């Protein structure tokens, strides 16, 4: 029984996307990091075990950011007057080049993982840069901080400045090295990461797909973010019926678990392709607004059975906080709902995307119930809110106006992380 531990507080999570599940003054019992019981009174068999009592605080699942660019972290909040393709050329690539220097990479990436953790993101899928050495630094920073991660060296071998692309073979060699080195890590693992179709040759896409399938590795990339980008893909790959097929034709679309960021302008055929159980669309509302891409019809995707997670997409998105991404997802859906009332996302749906769907990419995470990993945040909000509002209101308040000062504790796999 030594490995059994108990925490107590007001438990709030989404078992289904349609509503919050609330257990007032509940207990979460975990063993070796896995939840074995959640109850409103502690069964006798657990008496005698120390209870960490969080009193009147909320206990909620941690957040999972399914799409962001660690290599752009310093860029957050700059270049926001540009559209996607100019933004990459004028700002992003130069910064990513500098992250090939390991000393600089450690400085930037340590701040990035600290901030993820600080704001309650307990799992993140990250694009590093095309530098193998730089990407290695990001793996190490994830290991040091103790949150979950999928880290990708960005594969690009054409259509970007020379200082940031590599020959296809060399790019693949770097990825292979990182896969071998980190594939058995418990918390941070490699993910195959072609930046997006336009910056890969046919040869590179084919080899990346083969590597993903041969090693059972997940894949992350971008899909149908912006109209100019879609047109470019059509010109570059005329032999494919649509953007998604460029990936699908190279075993990079659901042959292994796959994250596709954005999907703002999917065709009917592409929506059907996304119903493959291994494909997760990642909605990144801040980014879609900032680089003037558009608003993805997320509610429609959910109604049609697609899996849709949530991403900060820093630095297209300007903030790394996932509570803000949840709010922005609701807000952008309300803009669509002006003309189409059915398009509106509820807060519980957006929360579900950031916790349960996001956590599902990592394993059994995102719910506070039996057989899930204990990945959780303790929210200690203002006493004035506590006395006046319901537990659901208090969660809503945290999501809308809270920040790291409200997060009193973070658990990953049952382990209490040191305070940020
Ligand atoms: Zn992105």
User: How would DSSP label each residue in 64-109?
Assistant: EEEEEEGGGGGGTTSSTTS-HHHHIIIIIHHHHHHTTSHHHHHHHH
**Ligand 1 center to 185 CA (angstroms):** 25
Q: In terms of domains, do 247 and 341 share one?
A: yes
Does 114 lie in the same domain as 40? no
CATH number at residue 135: 3.20.20.140
Q: For the segment 281-338, what is each residue's pLDDT rounded down to a tens digit?
A: 999 999 999 988 999 999 999 999 999 999 999 999 999 999 999 999 999 999 999 9
CATH number of the domain encompassing residue 403:
2.30.40.10
> What residues contact 237, with CB distance under 8 A and at least 6 apart?
197, 202, 246
Domain match, 50 and 78 both: no
Query: Ligand 1 centre from 16 Cα, in Å?
Result: 28
Q: Is residue 286 exposed (0-12), middle (13-18) or buried (19+ Cβ within 10 Å)? A: buried
> pLDDT band at residue 1, thresholds of 50, 70 and 90?
very low
- CA–centroid distance, residue 67 to ligand 1 (Å): 6
Structure tokens at 393: 């209101």
Is pLDDT at 66 greater than 80 in this prediction? yes
The Å distance, Cα 69 to ligand 1 centre, comes to 6
- The rounded Å distance from CA 103 to ligand 1 centre is 24
**Domain shared by 306 and 390, yes or no:** no
Q: What is the pLDDT of residue 285?
A: 98
Task: Give CA–CA dist 280/275, Å, rounded.
Answer: 9
| Domain region containing 220 | 63-362
- 60 confidence band (pLDDT: 50, 70, 90): very high
Q: Give distance in angstroms: CA of 59 to centre of ligand 1.
A: 30
Q: Please give the share of the chain, as a percent, with pLDDT higher than 70.
A: 99
Q: Do both 344 and 231 map to the same domain?
A: yes
Tell me, what DSSP letter sits at residue 277? Answer: T
CA of 256 to the centre of ligand 1 (A): 20
Q: How far is CA 265 from CA 241, 270, 332, 353, in A?
A: 14, 9, 15, 20
| 36 and 95 share one domain | no
- C-alpha closest to that of 124 among 139, 106, 107: 139
How much is the pLDDT for 2?
Answer: 60
Strand partners, 194: 155
Band the pLDDT of 74: cuts 50, 70, 90.
Answer: very high
- Rounded to the nearest angstrom, the distance between the alpha carbon of 288 and the centre of ligand 1 is 10
DSSP 411: E
Taking the centre of ligand 1 as the mean of its atom positions, its distance from the CA of residue 313, in whole angstroms, is: 5
Q: How far is the CA of 195 from the centre of ligand 1 (A)?
A: 8
How far, in Å, is the centroid of ligand 1 from the Cα of 267? 20
Give the N- to C-terminal CA distance of the chain in Å, as an integer.
30
**Is residue 8 within 8 Å of residue 54, measured between CB atoms?**
yes
């Amino acid at each position: 029984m030594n490995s059994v531990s108990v925490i107590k507080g007001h438990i709030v999570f989404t078992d289904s996307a349609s509503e919050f599940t609330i257990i007032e003054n509940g207990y979460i019992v975990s063993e070796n990091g896995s939840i074995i019981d959640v109850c409103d009174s502690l069964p006798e068999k657990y008496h005698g075990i120390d209870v960490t009592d969080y009193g009147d605080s909320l206990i909620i699942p941690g957040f999972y950011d399914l799409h962001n660019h660690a290599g752009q972290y310093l860029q957050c909040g700059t270049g926001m007057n540009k559209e996607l393709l100019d933004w990459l050329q004028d700002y992003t690539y130069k910064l990513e080049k500098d992250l090939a220097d390991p000393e600089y990479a450690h400085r930037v990436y340590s701040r990035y993982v600290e901030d993820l953790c600080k704001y309650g993101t307990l799992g993140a899928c990250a694009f590093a840069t095309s530098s193998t050495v730089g990407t290695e630094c990001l793996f190490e920073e994830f290991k040091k901080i103790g949150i979950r991660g999928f880290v990708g060296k960005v594969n690009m071998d054409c259509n970007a400045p020379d200082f940031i692309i590599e020959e296809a073979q060399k790019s693949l060699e770097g990825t292979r090295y990182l896969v071998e080195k980190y594939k058995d890590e418990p918390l941070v693992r490699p993910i195959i990461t072609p930046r997006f179709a336009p910056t890969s040759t046919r040869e590179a896409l084919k080899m990346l797909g083969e590597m993903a399938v041969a090693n059972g590795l997940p894949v992350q990339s971008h899909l149908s973010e912006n109209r100019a980008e879609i047109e470019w893909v059509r010109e570059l790959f005329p032999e494919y019926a649509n953007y998604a097929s460029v990936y699908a034709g190279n075993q990079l679309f659901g042959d292994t678990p796959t994250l596709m960021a954005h999907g703002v302008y999917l065709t009917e055929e592409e929506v059907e392709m996304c119903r493959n159980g291994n494909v997760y669309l990642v909605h990144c509302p801040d980014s879609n607004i900032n680089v003037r891409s558009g608003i993805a019809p997320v509610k429609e995707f959910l109604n049609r059975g697609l899996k849709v997670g949530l991403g900060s997409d820093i630095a297209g998105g300007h903030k790394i906080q996932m509570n803000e991404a949840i709010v922005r997802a609701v807000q952008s859906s309300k803009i669509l709902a002006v003309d189409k009332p059915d398009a509106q996302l509820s807060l519980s749906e957006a929360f579900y995307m950031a916790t349960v769907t996001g956590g599902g990419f990592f394993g059994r995470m995102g719910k506070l119930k039996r057989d899930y990993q204990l990945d959780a945040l303790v929210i200690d909000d203002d006493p004035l809110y506590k006395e006046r509002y319901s537990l659901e209101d208090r969660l809503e308040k945290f999501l809308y106006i809270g920040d790291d000062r409200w997060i009193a504790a973070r658990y990953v796999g049952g382990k209490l992380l040191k305070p940020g």
